[in-house]
Amino acid sequence: MSIYRQFWLAIIGLTVLAFAGSFVVSLFTARNYIEQQLYMKNVDNAASLALVLSQLPDKDPVMVELMISSQFDTGHYQEIVLTDPKHQVLVERHYAGDASGAPAWFVRMFPINAAPGTALVQDGWKQYGSIRLVSHSRFAYQALWHGVERLAAWFLLAGGLAGLLGTAVLRFVFKPLHGVVQQAEAIQERRFITVGEPRTPELRSVVVAMNAMVSRLKAIFAEEAARLDELRRQINHDALTDLANREFFMTQLREQLTAAEAAAEGNLALVRISHLDKINADMGHQLTDRLIQHMADVLKRFAEGCDNGVPARLNGADFVLLATGEHDPRRFGETLRQALEEDLVPAWPQLEEMFHIGVVAFRRGDEMRDLLSGVDKALAMAESKGMNALHVLSEEQSMTGSRSAESWRHELSEAIHDGRIRLERYPVLAASNQPLHQESAARMQLDPHGPWLTAGDFMPMALRLKLSSAVDMDVVQIALDHLDQAVQEIAVNLSAETIADWRFNEDLAALLSHNPDKAKRLWIEVPEYGAFRNFDAFRSFCHHLARHGCKLGIEHFGHHFGEIARLAELGLDYLKIDSNYVRDIDSHTGNQEFLRGLCRIAHNVGMLVIAEGVSSAAELATLIELGFDGATGQEITRRVQD
């Protein structure tokens, strides 16, 4: 029984006890008082009648009877009896009517017993007889009964008022407790939230203690996360410029070229600072470093304006920029050149020639070696062209570039309308080798007879045309339908734009509440950059879905590791770690330490950690040793198929 209900019952009980007690006491007091008063009246009236009869000089029986009758008829008497000294009745009068002014059961339960009054009558010196007199108790019963009625009415009224007042007071008193309970439940679900301090001193000390604990835990997480993030940076980033280093960039490039979910095409630019050795010799080490940092800043800013822009420093003078979203490599290259001309060159008037840019367009599936040699060739061509020159190697038009936005809109809408979307499913195994769930990837058939395109092919356009919500809704629906027959749970990924769409959120919540059982077997994941780009939208998305029982997670996690503390209050269920950190983990001791710390922190806030893109048994073994809870990727698919 809740404490609220217990208090409420206690208030009711005390009220009833108090009223019932006063009720009984006043009833018995009143009855006792009435009995005493009636007895006095009996005795006194008997005495006065006896006195009058004693004074009657001639005891004429008619006269005696008349006097008794007149006393009886004008007064309020139950009976008056005159007996002689031998106890023979001389005169008697009895009241014959209804003697009671109250319900029969009441008279039975609370009888009024007033003793009769008796007095002696003299005839001169001789004894004449004795008077026995009983007063009528009708009015006494009436008075007692009315008193009971009034008391009962007051009892009901005051009891009702006390109940209402008690309820209001309890509401008021327990309101802060509600907040405390919510916080405790949130902490149990490993959501670390703080609540406002209530005014009740006992509760306040509890809340203060719990808030302090939550803050301390958050601080510990943040500290640990910052330390590990620093480690991650040292391992994967160039110390001078904070750009990705060569090794990390190569992992990302390989992912871009091989992953089904990656964009279908993009551009790679290689930027070289000209004559860096000479500059170093002429201007000195410090200024050279300043130049390199300046170049890095310009590239970083430029990358932020691109889709999935990744800048990196390959070695001393060489920088690369990987970006998707621009179909025309010439335009991409020219924009980059202009940015350098405007932002970099004016600051260094002492340098004549500053940079050269080689650009090459690529498509998913291209060989990495070919791509790298291509961009080298483009840079060589640019260097041969002259000062601050650009050369674009590939002139051919890309597949997507050949379609107009209008035809894309038409074909995407048709495909969504006709339901030409299906889910590819990939196994995700737990560390125990048991299936955890199936990961799904959307495929769409633009042309009814054409090939099934991967998300990387159609999703960029769907995003641009604001059709991603429709695609994602279809995906969730297909996944739920799949759960009808499937034993395993299934995970779907939603795009960043989709989760910020409030109509999608409403529709999804409605869909899940109509399928409560299936919702519990649905895992929903959002890419890291989508979650952190609009964190407020992601937070409200999480709160919106929390009560439907589906599991929520973040995929491609790792780049925003420093902000993992912000995830603690969301109550997320899992993280999928980006394959960039997983690749060759068995030989990469630096990332091993980072991932071990990540697993520890994630487990502290109740999240599972799953590795993406595991491609070898050695990687898998290392990951399990590091504390990963599950994995997906080619190695896993292979194992399941075997």
Partner 1 sequence: MGRNRIHHATLRVFSLSALFACAFGALALLATAFDFDAFVQLAARRYGARTEQVAGQWRNLLTASRTLPEVERVRKVNDFFNRQITYKEDSEVWGQSDYWATPLETMGRGAGDCEDFAIAKYFSLLLAGLPADRLRLTYVKAKIGGRYSNISIAHMVLGYYPETNDEPLILDNLLADIRPASQRPDLTPVFSFNTEGLWVGNAPGGTSAGSSTSRLSRWRDLLSRMKAEGFE
Among 100, 118, 167, 540, binds partner 1 (CB under 8 A): 118
**Cβ nearer to partner 1, comparing 38 with 564:** 38
The one segment of 120-128, 164-172, 371-379, 427-435 that binds partner 1 by CB under 8 A: 120-128
The C-alpha atoms of residue 399 and residue 362 are separated, in whole angstroms, by 11
Q: What are the CB-based long-range contacts (under 8 Å, 24+) for 453-458?
A: 454/260, 454/261, 454/264, 455/260, 455/261, 456/259, 456/260, 456/261, 456/262, 456/263, 456/264, 456/364, 457/264, 457/400, 458/412
| Cα distance between residue 265 and residue 483, in whole Å | 34
CA distance 347 to 339: 13
For partner 1, give the closer residue by CB, 32 or 373: 32
Q: Would you mind telling me the total number of residues written for the chain in this entry?
A: 642
Q: How many residues bind partner 1 (CB under 8 A)?
A: 44
Q: How far apart are CB 19 and partner 1 at their closest, in Å?
A: 19
3-state secondary structure (DSSP) of residue 553: strand
By CB under 8 A, tell whether 32 contacts partner 1: yes
54 versus 616: smaller Cβ distance to partner 1:
54
CB of 63 to partner 1, least distance (A): 18
Instruction: Tell me which residues in 147-176 interact with partner 1 (CB under 8 A).
Output: 147
The answer to the question of residue 493 lying near partner 1 (CB under 8 A) is no
Q: Of 144 and 585, which has the nearer Cβ to partner 1? A: 144
**Distance (Å, whole) CA 137 – CA 95:** 11
Least Å from the CB of residue 156 to partner 1? 21
Taking the complex as a whole, the smallest distance from the CB of residue 198 to partner 1 amounts, in Å, to: 50
| Cβ contact 561:228 at 8 Å | yes
Provide the terminal-to-terminal Cα distance of the chain, rounded to the nearest Å.
54
In terms of CB distance, is 54 or 100 closer to partner 1? Answer: 54
* List 16, 48, 226, 334, residue binding partner 1 (CB under 8 A): 48
Give whole-number Cα distances, 285 to 33, 70, 273, 345, in Å.
113, 138, 15, 19
Residue 30 in contact with partner 1, rule: CB under 8 A: yes
328 and 359 Cβ atoms separated by less than 8 Å? no
Q: Which of 140, 382, 508, 568 binds partner 1 (CB under 8 A)?
A: 140
71 belongs to the binding site for partner 1 (CB under 8 A)? no
Which CB, 78 or 440, lies closer to partner 1?
Answer: 78
| Residue 581 falls in which region: left (phi positive, over 0), alpha (psi -120 to 50) or beta | alpha
Whole-number minimum distance, CB 91 to partner 1, in Å?
17
* Position 44 contacts partner 1 (CB under 8 A): yes
- Residue 100 engages partner 1 in binding (rule: CB under 8 A): no
Would you state the structure tokens that stand for residue 583, as one six-digit string? 């690749």
Which residues form the interface with partner 1 (CB under 8 A)? 30, 32-41, 43-48, 50-51, 54-55, 85-86, 113-115, 117-120, 122, 124-127, 130, 132, 139-140, 142-144, 146-147
